[in-house]
């Protein structure tokens, strides 16, 4: 298994897990961009958001992200990011949502 997120899901690589359900796992990003930076991934391998065709899994990812935000105390707000494919900045070929918060976040894109 070469996918780093599949290896984390399988327990082959360490990660600080913050939420888990039957189909979704959330763990802290190793290079956080904010005080709270958690990745939410499906346990089954899906390359990116572009390939996601399972509506139930899509909903579970969003619900998982919302639960992470609640568990991390992000009641003042947070950002949810899904970098998709090369031009979208996706670095790992396994769909993942970034839950980012814990401070006031600036504009998304430089103008």
pLDDT in tens, 38-91: 999 999 999 999 999 999 999 999 999 999 999 999 999 999 999 999 999 999
In this prediction, residue 97 has a pLDDT band, given cuts at 50, 70 and 90, of very high
> What pLDDT is recorded for position 108?
76
Collect all residues with Cβ–Cβ distance below 8 Å to 22 and sequence separation of at least 6: 43
- The Cα–Cα gap between 18 and 45 comes to 20
In this prediction, residue 6 has a pLDDT band, given cuts at 50, 70 and 90, of very high
Residue 39 has φ and ψ, to the nearest 5°, of -100, 135
Residue 102 has φ and ψ, to the nearest 5°, of 95, 0
Catalytic residues: 96
Whole-prediction pTM: 0.94
Q: How far is CA 81 from CA 3, 10, 22, 85, 91, in A?
A: 20, 24, 22, 13, 13
Domains of the chain with bracketed CATH: 4-101 (3.30.428.10)
């Amino acid at each position: 298994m070469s996918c780093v997120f599949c290896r984390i899901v399988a327990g082959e690589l360490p990660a600080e897990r913050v939420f888990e359900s039957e189909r979704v796992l959330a763990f802290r990003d190793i290079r956080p961009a904010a005080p709270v930076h958690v990745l939410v991934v499906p346990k089954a391998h899906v390359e990116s958001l572009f390939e996601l065709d399972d509506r139930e899994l899509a909903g579970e990812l969003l619900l998982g992200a919302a639960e992470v935000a609640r568990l991390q105390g992000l009641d003042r707000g947070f950002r949810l990011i899904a970098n998709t494919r090369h031009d979208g900045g996706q670095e790992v070929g396994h769909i993942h949502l970034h839950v980012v918060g814990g401070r006031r976040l600036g504009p998304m894109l430089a103008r």
